[in-house]
Amino acid sequence: MPRIPACLFPAVLFFAAPLGAGPLGLVLPTDNTAIFSDDPSQFYMYTDRNFEGVLSKPWSGGAYGFTRDQKRTAAGIILTRLHEGIDIRPVRRDAAGEPLDEVRAIAKGTVVYVTASSSQSNYGRYVVVHHDWGDGPFFSLYAHLGSATAKAGQAVEAGDAIGKMGYTGAGINRERAHVHLELNFILSDHYQRWHERHFTSKNHHGIYNGINLTGLDIAALYKAHRANPSITIPEFLAGHAEVHYRILVPKKGGLPFLQRYPWLGRDLERVTNPVSWEFSFASTGVPLEIRPSDEAVQAPVVTYVKPTSGNHADFTVERLTGTGDRATLTPSGSRYLQLITDSF
């Protein structure tokens, strides 16, 4: 992919997206609307790739999903690294190549977090906005900002400015300036306790640490919302996400995550006094269903995995290991389950 010139992009290619209708009311965070065009390279910021000595700049590295870290396997070349958001390239730069794009809230909500320093996270300077669409709390995250104008506690409408695009954070330079956008579930209200159990480093970001946020496919959601402005998050996930694995976990007290997102519950009336819960996950770790069970387990057990020809670690953000239709949890997978079940 050619390098981005340090000049203005043709204004005719881009236009401000109108406010969205329906319960979500989504809008794009910048003036770049090429996600809806026939040329996604004009929307996504490329990544620098070096695979087996071959250098490239694929725009697909800026998309959501398993878009990075190529690996050659017996089944062919696969991509193993999850990118939980989308990297949106600028549409305007000054003569020195500095991005000029304003970054805006994607929907009505409340700003809940603004980083105090751009050096305390790979996200650089980032802002988190809470959205309540009636299906539990969701959080949009805007990373690598050059500056943030939003303040924690500030109410915002869709399209309100919250900052300016930049290139703060690890591994980003001016040429690759972009805004990294996520839309997330929050895993635990007690993240700090979990963090202290597993890390010696300081948590600078409270419950809005990126580890505590699990991103859904925001690019697919934008397209689904454009086709059906009345779509909800549960409807979107039901139609656009596939169960990749299921895990049975012992019940230990309540399940705050299910209380926050009760629509994830299935067959809740079938087992009145469950001793375990079966979680269904997408390959990305996004939770899709939670079912009660009367099957007693002492520790989490994988009850289903989508068969693959390679190691499941390559297809599950290294949360499972094994091959074929057999899998076990990795230490990373166990930590993830601790967080989502508040069992720590």
pLDDT for 183 equals: 98
pLDDT for 195 equals: 98
CA distance readout (Å), 6 to 173, 266, 338: 13, 52, 46
CATH 2.70.70.10 domain residues, the chain:
11-224
Q: Please report the DSSP string for 38-97 in residue order.
A: S-GGGTBPP--EEETTEEE--GGGGSSEEEEEEEEETTEEEEEEEE-SEEEPPS-B-TT-
pLDDT for 10 equals: 36
The answer to whether the CB of 113 falls within 8 A of the CB of 206 is yes
Whole-angstrom distance between the N-terminal and C-terminal Cα of the chain? 46
What are the residue ranges in the chain where pLDDT is below 70?
1-21
Distance CA 186, CA 214 (A): 7
Distance CA 111, CA 297 (A): 40
Distance CA 99, CA 39 (A): 21
pLDDT for 272 equals: 86
Q: What is the pTM of this model?
A: 0.93
- Regarding the domain delimited by 11-224, which CATH topology (the fold level of the hierarchy) does it fall under? Glucose Permease (Domain IIA) (2.70.70)
Q: How far out from the chain centre does Cα 302 lie?
A: 23
As given in the structure block, the two tokens for residue 162 are: 């919250």
Distance CA 27, CA 18 (A): 7
β-sheet bridge partners, residue 148: 163
Distance CA 264, CA 235 (A): 11
